[in-house]
């Protein structure tokens, strides 16, 4: 089946998006939505008739997303304190408490949301998040994924800012089957935002941060060339050769959400970035066996960088 390549149509999309970016509004690319009298954001437990979304969210300027609910709650508490709103846990309530699919916390202009693991999970969250930002009339929103990853030839604890998310063939694209057609979308991320984040990390100077390609896979084990899953059909040499080819193609880390995140945010005119810490060097092994306190310290690194970035944007001292 011939895929629908996003080449020409995505160029048209960029023109569209630029127009939309002028107003700063989120670009919803679905004509059916206007015909609906109510929109239920089922996995958030929110809706346009049951909740006053503009009153709840119109001041949102930064959205931070990550896989784990606990990490995103910890980030919400951290940013709440960093922005000077205090450290009282009681001030942070889960806005999606009506459902256990995702959790969502708000600290002033910052929204923190968990997205679970993998492309299907983050993509459902993004559909509802992007519609939420649209219904709430949010403007000039920056969205950042703060996650964990496996590095390739990187010292564990290195923070990688993604320039382009690539697939398992190292192509800068995300493929989705829509009806019975394969749709291909670009996974390029905002260059200006990448440089701003890199500068921020140099200013805080607390950990090594680099810019590179991030490979996004559909699986943690075989899909990332691990030898320690329940199934494995390749040799350790095959694994090593594949990771070395990825490295030669510019891939510096591997995770499981960046491609659909980049593609959807780009098409909807959202300035987006992916910032992931590496938990291990995949050329050295597959198992994540670092002590709990080291893991906690590593997971904090993208949060520290993004907190500094947000504070800088808000004109607060870092």
Ligand X SMILES: O=c1cc[nH]c(=O)[nH]1
List residues forming the annotated binding site for phosphate: 101, 145-148
Nearer CB in complex with ligand LQZ7MJT6: 59/219 = 219
The CA distance from 161 to 305, in Å, is 11
Residue 279's H or E segment, with its range, is strand 271-281
Scanning 37-45, 52-60, 249-257, 306-314 for contacts with ligand LQZ7MJT6 by CB under 6 A, the matching segment is: 249-257
Where in 227-256 is the site for ligand X (CB under 6 A)? 254-256
The DSSP call for residue 48 is T
Whole-number minimum distance, CB 254 to ligand X, in Å? 5
Whole-number minimum distance, CB 16 to ligand X, in Å? 32
The DSSP call for residue 20 is H
**258 forms part of the interface with ligand X (CB under 6 A):** no
Where in 98-117 is the site for ligand LQZ7MJT6 (CB under 6 A)? 117
Question: How many residues touch ligand X (CB under 6 A)?
Answer: 9
For 27, list phi and psi in degrees, rounded to 5. -100, 110
The CA distance from 140 to 244, in Å, is 39
**196 forms part of the interface with ligand X (CB under 6 A):** no
- Residue 150's binding partner out of ligand X, ligand LQZ7MJT6, none, with CB under 5 to 8 Å set by partner kind: ligand X
- Strand pairing partners for 274? 145
**215 forms part of the interface with ligand X (CB under 6 A):** no
Evaluate whether 1 touches 180 at the Cβ level (below 8 Å).
yes
Reading the block at residue 15, the tokens are 């023109």
Beta pairing class for 271-281 and 209-216: unpaired
Binding residues for ligand LQZ7MJT6, rule: CB under 6 A, are 66-68, 117-118, 147-148, 220, 255-257
């Amino acid at each position: 089946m011939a895929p629908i390549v996003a080449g020409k149509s995505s160029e048209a999309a960029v023109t569209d998006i630029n127009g939309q970016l002028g107003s700063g509004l989120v670009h919803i690319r679905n004509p059916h939505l206007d015909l609906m009298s109510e929109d239920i954001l089922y996995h958030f437990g929110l809706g346009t008739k049951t909740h006053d979304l503009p009153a709840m969210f119109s001041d949102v300027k930064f959205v931070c997303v990550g896989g784990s609910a606990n990490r995103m709650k910890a980030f919400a508490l951290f940013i709440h304190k960093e922005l000077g709103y205090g450290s009282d846990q009681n001030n942070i309530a889960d806005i999606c408490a009506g459902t256990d699919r995702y959790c969502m916390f708000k600290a002033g202009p910052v929204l923190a949301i968990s997205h679970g693991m993998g492309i299907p999970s983050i993509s459902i969250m993004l559909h509802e998040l992007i519609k939420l930002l649209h219904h709430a009339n949010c403007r000039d929103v920056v969205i950042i994924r703060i996650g964990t990853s496996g590095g390739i030839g990187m010292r564990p604890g290195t923070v990688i800012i993604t320039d382009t998310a690539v697939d398992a063939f190292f192509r800068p694209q995300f493929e989705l089957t829509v009806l019975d057609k394969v749709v291909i979308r670009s996974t390029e991320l905002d260059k200006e935002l990448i440089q701003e984040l890199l500068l921020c990390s140099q200013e805080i100077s607390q950990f090594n941060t680099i810019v590179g390609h991030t490979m996004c896979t559909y699986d943690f084990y075989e899909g990332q060339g691990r030898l320690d899953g329940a199934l494995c059909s390749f040799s350790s040499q095959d694994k090593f050769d594949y990771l070395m080819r990825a490295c030669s193609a510019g891939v510096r880390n591997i995770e499981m959400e960046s491609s659909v995140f980049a593609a959807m945010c780009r098409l909807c005119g959202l300035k987006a970035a992916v910032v992931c810490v590496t938990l291990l060097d995949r050329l050295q092994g597959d198992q994540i066996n670092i002590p709990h306190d080291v893991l906690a310290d590593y997971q904090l690194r993208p949060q520290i960088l993004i907190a500094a970035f947000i504070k800088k944007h808000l004109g607060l001292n870092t």
